[in-house]
Structure 1
Amino acid sequence: MKTLRRRTVMAGAASALALPALPRSGVARQGGWAQVRDAASRYRQLHAILVAHRGETVVAEAFRGSGLDAVANVKSVSKSIVALLLGAAIDRGVIQSVDSRLGDVAPQLIPADADPRVRDLTMRDLVTLRAGLERTSGPNYGEWIASDNWVADALSRPFVAAPGGRMLYSTGSFHVLGAALAEAAGRDLLTLTREWLGRPLDIQVPAWTRDPQGYYMGGNQMALTPRALLKLGELVRQGGQWQGDQVLPEDWIAASLTPVTRSPYSGLGYGYGWFVTQTRRGRLALARGYGGQIVAVAPDVGISVAITSDPTQPARSGGYFGDLMALITDDVLAVG
């Protein structure tokens, strides 16, 4: 077995977040954070983990993979990022409200032969995965991305539930949302991500997959460093604030972390692009991507967690994802 190259930032060392250090009372937790690192090291699928507690980076470890400063495919964590961009668009008046209809925001996206109900889909329906259209994820994913027009394909699918009804996990819904944001703003999704999140947080956002019409994929395939993911977690934990600036509206973050539906697979609640649940230490919000890519935020105890994992292996609720949830709730939150 090869010896793993490990990169560690201990509590009390220079914080990657460049935020004020904790009072000396926080140093007593060093042993606990070491136990978190040891627990994380046991999962062969896990590449990197970072934990911030009340603004200080207390764990920063890359067991395998490319390290803490190289980009990783964050898979469906992209959905949670697009949801944050929707909040930024509403705050800037690019889109009037979360209840704005697709037919008003970006009518040019709607195929001529689409069901008339497609025009009335709201931004809320899309960002909460309650559009009601047949899913493009799971067994339908390959067929969808093989189509010559991803937006039209997603919007031409039959309704299998009422709009605003039950949750239907579908990358197509977020791809439509991302395209609508681009059309409303007159700039592509990459530019919006860089301007509205990348610039204020001082993170690099490389280009990612585009569809045949040139729309950047909404809901999958973004690539960010683990350190950038931790900054996004801290932004959410602080109610949209970053280093004294209100980057995103506080009420949008609050709504994002308020469940409006529930995943039929994990049982977790779902708000505006974020999974949400209650733990013994309070609220926990999750951005979750295939393979075990995670941004976790526990605002009641001041903790943010970023995890990257092998993107080629599944992470199901009863398997590796369940292990990661236990790591967060039983180990990380117990120390915090």
Structure 2
Amino acid sequence: MNQEKVKEFETIIKKDYANTCGVVVMKDGKMTYESYYNGCDSNSTVHIYSVTKSIISILMGIAIDKGYIKSLDQKVLDFFPDYKVIPGEKTIQNITLKDMLTMTAPYKQKEDPYVEYFTSPDYLKFTLDLLGGDDKIGEFRYTPLIGPDIFTGIIRNVTHQSVLDFAFENLFKPLGIKIGGNIIFNSAEEQFAFNEATDISGWVTDPTGLNTAGWGLTLTANDMAKIGQLYLNGGVSNCKRIVSTKWIKQSTTPHRHWNNLSYGYLWWVLDDHSFAALGDGGNTIYVNSEKNLVISISALFVPNAKDRI
């Protein structure tokens, strides 16, 4: 690599992207660049925020590949037979898995009720209670918080495993990703500390033990690069099939458009050759098939983080 360009690149990171923890570049399947900031190193695990959603997309694909889920046209409520629908609520009964994956399911509240969500004893029930309402199914509405936990509820119900166990067995272990246990917060202060930590490994759960789906997973920059390389390789790692090529194509194909962006199945689609998982603070998994390139960025939260792409 051109060392003058590398020096210029690192100067830009320190000046304009000061919350960066790690950057890893994979070119033609080989690591060509790795650098860390803010006292971090290759073992530093950070909260990847909404990149968690794209990991959930992979797990949904694996669950479909293994026959746990038959079709994306299945209704969400098919997976929660004991859930009691609020009287008079009809929309929720028609929402499908595909509606959820493409962020085109309606909700009763226009803004994410953060405080109520985080203080709820059951994230899944809280989310199901908000699903539906008067808006139409099919209109794109990106929901950073409410909504995705329905996927972890589905995975838990169909596999009879915790989502962390299912992920470890079918995704993390085959990729050589080490992951800690479940993380439970006993106070808001513990959650704030988690968001600033670089040495906590695991996956957040609600008080019932359900792993979060829209946020809450910690990974290293290297871990995220492995995820990106898996998708670039069509779902194969070390000669082993992890997730089907069909699912990868479906999940990284535009299904909805929003402003100048396109959305697949919990992945952002940038153009005909590139797609990305994006999380608060600038956490990123970027994949470019034309250039045979994967770039991962781990970062600590800052409000209104500058665009990494």
TM-score, normalised to structure 1, is: 0.79
* % same residue: 23
Partner residue of 2:262?
269
Give the drift of 1:35: 4.8
In the alignment, is residue 46 of structure 1 matched against residue 20 of structure 2? yes
Give the drift of 1:69: 1.4
Which among 287, 290, 296 is matched to residue 297 of structure 1? 287
Residue segments in structure 1 that go unaligned for 5+ positions in a row: 1-27, 326-336
In the alignment, is residue 287 of structure 1 matched against residue 280 of structure 2? no
Q: State which drifts further: 64-73 or 113-122.
A: 113-122
Q: Is the contact made by 1:151 and 1:172 (CA closer than 8 Å) also made in structure 2?
A: no
Paired positions, count: 285
Which among 32, 42, 51 is matched to residue 58 of structure 1? 32
SS of 2:147's partner is helix
Partner residue of 2:161?
187
Q: State which drifts further: 144-153 or 82-91.
A: 144-153
* Structure 2 Cα separation of the partners of residues 124 and 135 of structure 1: 21
Q: How big is each residue's C-alpha offset from its partner over 1:17-71, in whole Å with a ceiling of 9 and x where there is no partner?
A: xxxxxxxxxxx66665555444434321222111101111111000214322121
Give the drift of 1:288: 0.9
Once the two structures are superposed, the pairs formed by residues 49-88 of structure 1 within 5 Å of their partners are: 49-88=23-62
CA pair 199-168 structure 1, distance change in 2 beyond 3 A: same
SS of 2:273's partner is strand
CA pair 111-209 structure 1, distance change in 2 beyond 3 A: farther
CA pair 172-199 structure 1, distance change in 2 beyond 3 A: same
In the alignment, is residue 237 of structure 1 matched against residue 232 of structure 2? yes
SS of 1:172's partner is coil
* Structure 2 Cα separation of the partners of residues 31 and 271 of structure 1: 37
SS of 2:214's partner is coil
SS of 1:179's partner is helix
Partner residue of 1:24?
none
In the alignment, is residue 152 of structure 1 matched against residue 125 of structure 2? yes
CA pair 284-56 structure 1, distance change in 2 beyond 3 A: same
Which among 84, 87, 90 is matched to residue 64 of structure 2? 90
Q: Is the contact made by 1:78 and 1:220 (CA closer than 8 Å) also made in structure 2?
A: yes
In the alignment, is residue 203 of structure 1 matched against residue 196 of structure 2? no
Q: State which drifts further: 151-160 or 296-305.
A: 151-160
Partner residue of 2:139?
165
* Structure 2 Cα separation of the partners of residues 59 and 276 of structure 1: 24
CA pair 234-118 structure 1, distance change in 2 beyond 3 A: same
* Structure 1 Cα separation of the partners of residues 38 and 296 of structure 2: 15
SS of 1:197's partner is helix
Partner residue of 1:331?
none
SS of 1:248's partner is coil
Partner residue of 2:185?
none
CA pair 57-190 structure 1, distance change in 2 beyond 3 A: same
Q: Is the contact made by 1:257 and 1:274 (CA closer than 8 Å) also made in structure 2?
A: yes
Q: How big is each residue's C-alpha offset from its partner over 1:230-288, in whole Å with a ceiling of 9 and x where there is no partner?
A: 10010111111112222110011011111111345xx321101101112xxx5221111
Give the drift of 1:182: 0.8
TM-score, normalised to structure 2, is: 0.85
Residue segments in structure 2 that go unaligned for 5+ positions in a row: 183-202
* Structure 2 Cα separation of the partners of residues 169 and 283 of structure 1: 25
* Structure 1 Cα separation of the partners of residues 63 and 176 of structure 2: 19
* Structure 2 Cα separation of the partners of residues 31 and 54 of structure 1: 22
CA pair 51-101 structure 1, distance change in 2 beyond 3 A: same
Amino acid paired to 2:268? F
Give the drift of 1:223: 0.6
SS of 1:164's partner is coil
Partner residue of 2:304?
315
Q: Is the contact made by 2:20 and 2:300 (CA closer than 8 Å) also made in structure 1?
A: yes
CA pair 299-161 structure 1, distance change in 2 beyond 3 A: farther
CA pair 164-196 structure 1, distance change in 2 beyond 3 A: farther
Which among 212, 218, 224 is matched to residue 223 of structure 1? 218
Amino acid paired to 1:148? P
* Structure 2 Cα separation of the partners of residues 303 and 315 of structure 1: 26
Partner residue of 2:194?
none
